[in-house]
Amino acid sequence: MGKEFSGALDEGRLEKAIMEAREILAARAKVRGMMSYSELASKMTSIQVGPRDPLLHQILDRVSTDEHVAGRGMLSCIVVHKVGDMEPGEGFYELAARLGKRPRNRLEFWVTELHHVHAAWENSTETIPDGIQASQAASSTPAAITRSSLRPPSSVPAMTRTRAASTSRPRRVSG
């Protein structure tokens, strides 16, 4: 099972974990990427947390609140479920409501926030610590993000092709 935190965390260690999470997320946002909760948890070294650990969610809330106040958007929008909907968890939308955002369409809100965060960090002159390289940040991104659209994971077209191939006659491809 994942690394789970148990016990009290002093304020100094919590602040260090918040800064570490922010640096990890900022590095990924700079290359217009995303990551799963489990990937974020595994990259954190200042504390041990699992992907469903309430402490990880508390850290993400603090990071996103601080980034929202700074005008760069809710940075935790790049942290998504590893399987299934590949969207942020319920806590992301609850925090959005606490920050005064009232999205009518959750998916549209998330994609808009994602584009805002990516643009803010892509154009940021803020430096990322040496320990977090841009190439590392781009690795194992669960979905491809472009400026103009949020594309589904690469597995979606493959499943569509597989289904189409099984229901239609094979075609000869020239070339």
pLDDT at 130 over 60: no
Task: In whole angstroms, give the CA distance from residue 55 to residue 140.
Answer: 24
Is the per-residue pLDDT at 144 higher than 80?
A: no
Domain borders along the chain are 11-167
Structural contact between residues 33 and 138, judged by C-beta atoms closer than 8 angstroms: yes
pLDDT of residue 127: 60
List of residues 6+ apart from 45 with CB closer than 8 A = 20
Strands 35-36 and 79-80 come out as parallel
Among 33-37, 68-72, 144-148, the minimum mean pLDDT is found in 144-148
Its sign, for the CA torsion 87, 29, 137, 60, is negative
Let me know: does 76 contact 36? Beta carbons within 8 Å: no
- pLDDT value of position 128: 58
* CA angle at 18 for the pair 77 and 125, rounded to the nearest 5°: 70
Q: Is the pLDDT score of 172 beyond 70?
A: no
